[in-house]
Amino acid sequence: MRHLKKVKKLKRNASHRQALLMNLAISLINKEKIITTTAKAKALRSYIEKLITKAKNGALHQRRIVASKLRDAASVQKLFEDIALRYKTRNGGYTRVYKMYNRPGDAAEMAMIELVEELLETEKKS
Q: Where are the domains of the chain?
A: 14-125
Domain 14-125 is classified in which CATH homologous superfamily? Answer: Ribosomal protein L17 (3.90.1030.10)
| Dist. CA 93–CA 119, nearest whole Å | 13
The chain-wide mean pLDDT, for the chain, equals: 93
Q: CA 21 to CA 16: how far, in whole Å?
A: 9
3-state helix, strand, coil in the chain (%, to 5): 55, 15, 30
Q: Would the pTM of this model clear 0.85, i.e. be above it?
A: yes
The per-residue pLDDT for range 70-89, each reduced to its tens digit, is: 999 999 999 999 999 999 99
Predicted local confidence at residue 125, as pLDDT: 62
Across 118-123, average pLDDT: 58
